[in-house]
Structure 1
Amino acid sequence: MFSFSNSSKAVPTPDAPAVTAKSHEAHPLDALTHGAFSAHTSGERMACIREWLASSPSSEQLQQVFKELSVKDKGAAKLVREKLDDIKRSKTQATIALEWADKAHALLALSKLNLADALAWQRDAAKAGAPLSKEPLTGLKAQLVERVRAIEDLQHRVQVQREAAVLLAQRIEVLSTKPWMDAQTAQETLTADVAHWQTEAQDLLGDANWPSVDVRFATQLQDSQAQLLLVWEAFTEALKFTVAAAEDAAAPLPKVPVWADEIRVARGIPLEAPVTPAKPKVDPEIRAKATSAVREVLSKLEQEMAQGHGKSSVGVANALRQALKDNARLIDDKLEAQAHAALVAAGELEGWQRWRADQLREELLAKAEGLLNRPEGQTIGGRKMQDTLRQLREQWKTTDQGGAANHGLWKRFDDACNEAHKVVEAWLEKVKAESAEHRAQRLALIEEVKAWAEANRVALDDDWKGFNRVLHQFGDRWRESGHVGEKMFAELQPLWKSAIDHAAAPLEALQKLSLQTRHAMIDEAKALGAEAALRIDAVKALQQRWQAEAHRVPIDRRHEQKLWDAFRKPIDEAFNRKTAEREKAQSALGERDRMVLDASKALQAANASGDAQAIRAAMAALDAALSGQRQAQADVEAAGSAEENPAQTLENKAQEATKNEAAADNSDVAAESVGDSDSVAVAADVVKPAPVPKRVVAMRGDDRPGMKKEEPVAPGRAGKFGDRKDGGRPAGRDGARDTRGPGRSDDRGGPRGNRFERPAYGERADAPRLGDAAFRAQREALEQAQFALRKLAAQAHGEALTQLLTAWEKRDAEQVPSTQELGNRVSPAVRGAWVKAVSQPASGDAATSLLRLEMAAEVPTPAEHLSARRMLQLQLLTKRNDPAPAQTWTQDTATVLASPFDAAQVRRVQNVLKVLLKP
């Protein structure tokens, strides 16, 4: 800052030291944060904050620094906030860790630990967010794992002891089938093995974790021990009796058959053949009943084995064993052998089922471990991961139901699922944060609706449609506010309904009044529709009131449509009733309508025949029917010839009328007269002319000097605001003068002059009004007749032009068309000149005449002759008194016909004459 003078007002120098002193004043927290508040840049301030955070400040200091720093630097305050969040999270995790540590201590303190609870502790702790990787949960987790491993080892040892007991029993039973000397030799080894087995069993029972072993394993060990001791005692006693019988011939024989036979042989006693005791006779009914019971269970077991149901086949096999035990002496040997074979197969199926269950477990384990070992770009989302884990656990549970559990595979599977569940936990945290954000958005929307409702109790400018539109926009925003849980939605939905109902209360009150008004209008419409004479003005006024009410107050579209249908129904029924009455009245045709319909049908037939003369005759007959004069003649002709065809009579009369027309009139003139007025004027001998009404002449009504009131209005010049151009007569279509005359008839048979020449109502009694069917029939027939005549005229024009060109080519005057065929633009003298030109030998040059014809027809000239045409146009400009090409086209045509035939010029001549000969 520079001071240019001592008296400068812009820079007060005395205040500068005060500002400098103020700028150097230190912040109270600057020393605590290592100079963060006095740092000049954001980077330096963040470095100071990181250095201060490394010193582990207290939570109160962090709160104070964050409060001051959040106003000054958001980036540096973010570091403090993250530290606060870490402390808060640590406190939360410490609380959760303490809770789960207590649970772990409680589990470890139990003398009988449930494996399911111990295995679920780790999974539930991870779901709750407990820090399992930190002490004391890490040590407790290891202790629980070790305890579970010890219990599972005990259970495994029980199964081993069980199998060992079975093997020892089998060895003892096998020795009973061998010589007793071999059994005596193996007795010492068996004694040691049995003693060792009992020692192992006692060690299992004395283990500290034995109370935690499943009850079924303890029962299995006890059963195995009792069975082994029983077999061993029986073996020892039988061997003792055998040794005594071998030493003393008077001693009784042992109960073991093999050993007893061996003693008999040593004593010299012959062996007796085993006598099979005869089965006692059994009642056939009891035998059949037993056979039926065994066969029923046997068929069920075979069915279960065929379907591969290992679990259910076990129960059925036990039922078959029980059935054999109860009915073995009552069934035949064949059925018994079949039942034993089925039991052997069931045992094999049960073993296969256990093997298959292990295979399924290994597959599920591979799937669980593969959830985390996926390639990049193939990660699984939280929702899908949660569903997959749930499905895997359900499948594992189903597999366990089919056989014995495999705890080793279960441990690996559970660890893999817990590791994969971390993805689900992260997703759940994200969903929880999004749900909180969506909840805040919905609450803000509810508050916005409440504020809007308080400010808009009445629609602005009476625009209730806009009011309703805003409410719908609020509803759309509520539906698009994101997903929240069912519990949270159930909490927010009543608040939203209350707010939106309060906002929509004015509109709902107005809609109730509008519904009452509309129901009243519906009743009024029913009353109008029930009246005998339908009042159109009242109906229109009622409809306008309905539309005004519908535009003013919006209601639900479906409800509004139902009300509109109810309102429109009686009015539509009234109009339909009126239409039916009109059609009924029109269906009763009069005599004149039938005559017009017959004439229209005759004209349609003539149109289909393609004969121009017949079409003109039918048109004249239709005009006679329209004029109303045909009815009297029909009565006379009906009296003269009853069998004559009415349509043919009309056609004959029309031909007579056509003969009396002027000879110069051709088909095109007749067609034009038909096109100008929708009916043709007939000849005087067929149609009696209507009396000409007295003309109403406009007289001057002013009192200008020199003007007489008896004088008619003088023709005025053309003005620009609709002034008449023809002395008072109205102009026709396109500004042309109306030359149709006062006697022209309209489409329905009535005279149609101008408004000054129309007779009074009492004077128009000669042509009654046609019915709708007759009017449409005659109009359609006349339109088709005009189209057919124009088409026939075009065809005749083309044929005449072709004949003329052919006569030029062959130099044959007889092929020149007649004057009537050439049209009204060619007179007999012109045709005679053309005949003379064609009949003489070809001579002369027709280039200039052809150019003049193209100029007269105003058709384009080929590019190679365009220069010649321009030169000719320049020459014609210098000859002002010479006739124009449009006036001498007939002489130029004769010159062309007199010239030699040139195939290259045929197309040019044809294009020219097509335009010039057109009527």
Structure 2
Amino acid sequence: MDPAAARLAEAAASFRRTPVVTTTPSKPHDSQALDTLTGGAFSAPTSGERTARIRDWLAGNPDAELIQQVFQELSVRDRGAAKPLREKLDEIKRARGREAIAAEWATKAQALLELPRLNIADAMAWQRDAAKAGAPLSKEPLSALKTQLAERVRGIEDLQHRVQVQREAAVLLAQRIEVLSTKPWQDALAALEALRTDVAAWQQQADTLAQDTNWPSVDGKFPPLLDASKAQLLVVWDAFQASLEQARLASENAEAPLPPVRVWADALRLARGEVPEPVAAPAAAPKPARPAVDPAQREQAEARVSEALAKLQQEVAEGHGKASSAAATALRAVLKDHGRHVGDKLEAEVHTALVSAGELEGWQRWRADQLREELVIKAEGLLKRPEGHALGGRKMQDTLRQMREQWKQTDQGGAANHALWKRFDEACNAAHKVVEEWLDKRKTEAAEHKAQRLALLEELKAWGAEHAASTDWKLLGRSLHQFDNRWREAGHLGEKAFADLQNQWKEAIQAAAAPLEQAQQASIDRRRALIEEAKVLGAAPLLRIDAVKALQQRWQAEAQTIPLERKFEQKLWDAFRKPIDEAFQRKTEEREKAAGAMSQVDRAVLDAARAVEAANASGDAQKIRSALAALEAATRGQAAAAAAAAAVPAAPVATSAGTEAPADAAATPADAPADATPEGEVAADAPAPAPAPVRKPVVAMRGDDRPGMQKTQPAPARGGARFGDRDRGPARPGENRFEPRRDGRDGRDGGRFGDRPPMADRGPRLGDAAFRAQRDAMEHAQAALRKLAAQAHGEVLTNLLGAWEKREPEQVPSAQELGAGVNSAVRGQWVQSISAPAGDGKAAAEALLRLEIAAEAPTPAEQISARRMLQLQLLTRRNDPSPAQTWAQDTAKVLASPYDAGTARRVQNVLKVLLKR
């Protein structure tokens, strides 16, 4: 036996002798010693720390007995911390179990390899059964044994294939000899040596096959086939050699006998000058004359024979095998008794029918044997399927049942074949072992599943008794759901056993769920009451939002307290939500209906918004600004007011006093004052709305010069001022700032907040569609203006740098193009710097650093030291202007220097920022 397999066998025997886990300790454990052993797992304050220390201790691979002792002691105190110990013990048990299984199957494989005659089916079944048993086939020694068995099976199959090739080769050699016997003997004599070499090579190959070590393991039908082919070839070969030698001798000696081959004998006779012997046809024997027969007796005999003949012809025409055989037997019996009395014509018909019946019977027997051969091959191949394609127990059982039924049907159509039946029955019995194993496994699993379900049933009953008085409905629902899942996943049982246990389970689950069902029914009643309240609220003419919110909160509290079946709960929720949603929908429809009557201002705003979008598409900044101004005017109602003013003298109407009045006098706008148009008077032109006050930009303010802050934003107030004290200044004598003001400015003494400026007129209220269109149009227009400004800014910078590169002052952009930060004097300095010859670049280097400091732009790595030195120097020059104040002069110095691509990129990055300030 292989040493590795022997070690595995020894480990398996040790595993069977020594249990992994002992439930009863031999002596009480020392907790202090175990705590020291595990690194303080028992004295740890929390469960998490105990678990961590246990895992650290298990990382050192302690002995299984120590793990068992620690587990028994710790599982009483903390099951969570003992979980890694239990998992480790289970892992050890599984490992030892795998070793035992590996040793067992290694022994079986070794026994198969030691057999002098190996059955291929047994070798393939070993791998399949070992995989089903859970043996580690991918590990040693099973991996090597599996490879050896596969090589052995491959060798046997190759040997069987070679036997078939040898048979075909023998047939071809015999055909070559037969063909040579039909040709002149001189041609046969010329091919004799080559033929002798081939026959000797064939015999040597056949002997090699018989001497192979796997020859005893080949199928029993192959050795007789090879022997028969060898014997037949040698008989033909010996006869061919003897005939050829006799022909050679006859050609040399005219007295020698001629060879038995007719072609060669005829050729030798012609060579000797003799005439070939003709082939005589056999003489026909004279037919004896029939004796005279009585006409009445002949008529009776022919009637009996004709009746039997007609029945046989009918059965043959219908193709009935057994019936035609019985009819032929009956016809022969009738012919035996009356055959000497019938005429020649009827006798010929009888013999023709008997021949047809015999052919049908022979064909059916041959066809039945063919079907039986197919069934035998199929039955023998059931256990020879490759791994991964083997049939399971259920599939194997159905296949065997179908094959036996097919065999019965075949026996009904022809005579039985006992030899084939024996092979078929043996193959089916061998394959049925798989079914037996599957049935035994199903019985074992059914017993385990039944025990598991009974234990679950008892657990449910105990749990129901324990939680009968519990009011934690969510816990009850969750636990019952878990019980249902465990019951569904408890394994398969037979129909009768499952029906019995299912009834018990239903009774137990109903008893355990009774408190929850009662609470759920009460919750359903309360929710239906809430649904009725929701219907009352939804049907009210005035929808009370606070009542709706309170009702929804009550529903949520009820839903969070008692769970229901999800679909039913969703159905109740939909019924609760429906009247409230309908009420809100009615409110929304009314609001939309009111807003749907678009006012003249809304139409003007929508038209102006469309004009802005069209201007945005044109890409003309002036058009966009004009369209924005028109949109602003339309938003404030100026366009509607102008249209109304233009329509004043257009349509006079008759008043109650008999005078004529403008059209808008008869329909005063809803937002006009009540006394704006007295009855019978002509309304005056509505004054144009006052323009909105424009906020003046802050000129002088303290900037925030902290790093990362925007200097354009004012610095936050500092100090301890609170509640606006800093804005109001110091308190006056006798003033209590915590007392309310008495000057009427807080509204308590009749004041109307007269100290506050009037709110800016933002125009009439717009509808939803007009407001959204106005907002989107302004956003798109501002984005388009920013994009155009950026493009224009980039073109200006490109033109300025191009003028510097080419030294062409006429290409310098105008002051208006350069922006508000560049006036005519600054532009003149830049033009003068570009028109003058290029000077020294040293002053330009410092000026460029000052520009980067002013713009807070990054400096190349090689110039960072120079920038820091310049910043230190600027700190010492207290009265000098800052780089932010002299950036225009510094730009002129840079433009006066020679053009450089790197310097140009730095200047472009700086001016991008400075020209926008």
TM-score (norm 2): 0.51
Cα shift at 1:893: 0.6
For residues 606 and 445 of structure 1, the distance between their equivalents in structure 2, rounded to whole angstroms, comes to 78
Q: Does 1:602 align with 2:604?
A: no
Alignment of 1:2-81 (within 5 A): none
* Corresponding position: 1:439 with 2:437: no
Q: Is the 8 A contact 1:823 1:918 kept in 2?
A: yes
In 2: Cα distance, 1:315 partner to 1:573 partner = 89
Whole-angstrom CA distance in 1 between matches of 2:642 and 2:898:
60
Partner Cα separation in structure 1 for residue 726 and residue 787 of structure 2: 36
Aligned counterparts of 2:805 and 2:625: Cα–Cα separation in 1: 35
**Inter-CA distance 620–687: structure 2 relative to 1 (3 Å threshold):** farther
**Pairing of 1:551-562 with structure 2 (within 5 A):** 551-562=560-571
2:777 corresponds, among 767, 776, 781, to: 781
Matches within 5 A, 1:525-674: 525-637=534-646
Q: Distance in 2 between matches of 1:754 and 1:344?
A: 133
In 1, Cα distance between the equivalents of 2:323 and 2:597?
89
What is the CA distance between 1:602 and its match in structure 2? 2.2
Over 3 Å counting, the alpha-carbon distance change for 1:779 and 1:370 in structure 2 is closer
Is the 2:636–2:764 contact (alpha carbons within 8 Å) kept by the matching residues of 1?
no
Cα distance 1:716–1:377, how it changes in 2: closer, same or farther (>3 A)? closer
Using the TM superposition, give the Cα deviation of residue 792 of structure 1 relative to its aligned residue in structure 2, in angstroms: 1.7
Q: CA deviation at 1:371?
A: 4.9
Secondary structure (helix, strand or coil) at the match of 1:401 reads: helix
CA deviations over 1:414-449 (Å, ceiling 9, x no partner) = 344345434433443333232222211111111111
Q: Deviations over 1:723-748 (max 9, x none)?
A: 576449xxxxxxxxxxxxxxxxxxxx
Find the counterpart in structure 1 of residue 756 from structure 2. 757
In 2, the alpha carbon distance for the partners of 1:262 and 1:317 equals 27
**Is the 1:807–1:816 contact (alpha carbons within 8 Å) kept by the matching residues of 2?**
yes
1:494 Cα deviation after fit: 1.0
Match of 1:747 in 2: none
Residue 450 (str. 1) matches residue 487 (str. 2): no
Q: Distance in 2 between matches of 1:261 and 1:315?
A: 30
- CA separation in 1, counterparts of 2:624 and 2:361? 103
Q: Which amino acid aligns with 1:478?
A: W
| Counterparts of 1:775 and 1:338, CA distance in 2 | 111
Q: CA deviation at 1:585?
A: 1.0
Amino acid at match of 1:401: Q
- Deviations, residues 689-708 of structure 1 (Å, cap 9, x unaligned): 4799xxxxxxxxxxxxxxxx
In structure 2, the CA distance between the partners of 1:316 and 1:484, relative to structure 1 (3 Å rule), is farther
Aligned to 2:690: 688
**Structure 2 residue 531 is the aligned partner of structure 1 residue 483:** no
Q: Deviations over 1:654-684 (max 9, x none)?
A: xxxxxxxxxxxxxxxxxxxxxxxxxxxxxxx
Check the 8 A contact 2:635/2:764 in 1, yes or no: no
Amino acid at match of 1:757: R
Deviation at 1:913, TM superposition (A): 1.2
- Residue 388 of structure 1 deviates from its aligned partner by 3.4
1:247-284 deviation per Cα after TM superposition (whole angstroms, max 9, x unaligned): xxxxxxxxxx97655799xxxxxxxxxx99xxxxxxxx
1:895 maps to which of 893, 896, 900: 893
> Residue type matched to 1:348 in 2?
E
What whole-Å deviation, never above 9, does each CA across 1:453-498 have from its counterpart, x for those lacking one? 1111143xx4312211100111111122222222211221111111
Matched, 1:519 2:528: yes
Contact 1:850–1:909 (CA<8 Å) still a contact in 2?
Answer: yes
- In structure 2, what residue type is equivalent to 1:501? Q
Counterpart position of 1:357: 368
**Contact in 2 for aligned 1:717/1:724 (Cα 8 Å):** no
The CA distance in 2 between the partners of 1:600 and 1:502, in whole Å, is 71
Contact 2:849-2:867 at 8 Å conserved across structures: yes
Rounded to whole Å, the distance in 1 between the matches of 2:450 and 2:463 is 20
Answer yes or no: is the 8 Å Cα contact 2:615–2:624 preserved in 1: yes
CA contact (8 A) 2:609 2:631 kept: yes
Letter of the 1:514 partner, please give it. S
Say which of 783, 789, 792 aligns to 2:788.
Answer: 792
2:690/2:761 contact within 8 Å kept: no
What is the match of residue 824 of structure 2? 828
Q: Is the 8 A contact 2:641 2:688 kept in 1?
A: no
Q: In the alignment, which residue of structure 2 is the partner of 1:914?
A: 912
Judged with a 3 Å threshold, the aligned counterparts in structure 2 of structure 1 residues 417 and 754 are, in CA distance, closer, same or farther, namely: farther
The answer to whether structure 1 residue 406 and structure 2 residue 404 are counterparts is no
Q: 2:399 aligns with which of 388, 391, 400?
A: 388
1:498 aligns with 2:507: yes
- Give how far 1:342 is off: 9.5
Compared CA separation, residues 565 and 633, structure 1 to 2 (3 A): same
| CA shift in 2, pair 1:314/1:807, >3 Å | farther
- Deviation at 1:878? 4.0
The answer on whether the counterparts of 1:717 and 1:723 sit within 8 Å (CA) in structure 2 is no
CA contact (8 A) 1:629 1:688 kept: no
Change (3 A) 1:581 1:399: same
Structure 1 residues 831 and 725, CA, compared in 2 at 3 Å: closer, same or farther?
Answer: farther
Note if contact 1:853-1:893 (Cα within 8 Å) is conserved in structure 2. Answer: yes
Deviation at 1:377, TM superposition (A): 9.1
Letter in 1 for 2:494: G
Distance 1:878 1:343, change over 3 A: farther
Structure 1 unaligned segments of length 5 or more: list them.
Answer: 1-41, 45-256, 265-274, 277-293, 322-333, 643-684, 693-714, 729-752
Specify whether residues 607 and 495 from structure 1 end up closer, same or farther in structure 2 by C-alpha distance, changes over 3 A only. Answer: same
Query: Percent identity among equivalent residues?
Result: 66
CA distance in 2, matches of 1:799, 1:313: 110
**Corresponding residue SS for 2:513:** helix
Q: Does residue 400 of structure 2 align to residue 425 of structure 1?
A: no
Q: Rg larger in 1 or in 2? A: 1
Deviation string 1:329-377 (CA, Å, 9 cap, x unpaired) is xxxxx9x999998996675344322222223223333444555677899
Q: What is the Cα deviation at residue 557 of structure 1? A: 1.4
Whole-Å Cα distance in 2 between the matches of residues 558 and 504 of structure 1? 19
Q: Distance in 2 between matches of 1:448 and 1:689?
A: 84
Residues 822 and 433 (structure 1 numbering): CA distance in 2 closer, same or farther, change over 3 Å? same
How far does the alpha carbon of each residue in 1:178-208 deviate from its partner, in whole angstroms, 9 at most, with x for none? xxxxxxxxxxxxxxxxxxxxxxxxxxxxxxx
Structure 1 runs of 4+ with >6 Å offset: 309-318, 336-344, 373-379, 639-642, 753-756
Displacement of 1:450 after TM fit? 0.6
**Alpha-carbon contact 1:628-1:766 (below 8 Å) kept:** no
Change (3 A) 1:843 1:394: same
Q: Distance in 2 between matches of 1:316 and 1:639?
A: 124
Aligned mates of 1:486, 1:755 — CA distance in 2: 92
2:413 aligned counterpart, secondary structure: coil
| Distance (whole Å) between structure 2 residues aligned to residue 799 and residue 864 of structure 1 | 30
Look up the SS of the partner of 1:469 in the other structure.
helix
Amino acid at match of 1:360: L
Let me know the Cα RMSD of the aligned residues: 4.7
Which 5+ residue runs of structure 2 have no aligned equivalent?
A: 1-15, 19-285, 300-309, 333-344, 652-686, 695-715, 730-751
Find the counterpart in structure 1 of residue 79 from structure 2.
Answer: none
8 Å contact kept, 1:596–1:626: yes
User: Are positions 1:844 and 2:818 aligned together?
Assistant: no
Deviation at 1:588, TM superposition (A): 0.3
Secondary structure in structure 2 of the residue aligned to 1:770? coil
> Which letter maps to 1:863?
A
Q: CA deviation at 1:595?
A: 2.1
User: What is the identity, as a one-letter code, of the residue corresponding to 1:624?
Assistant: A
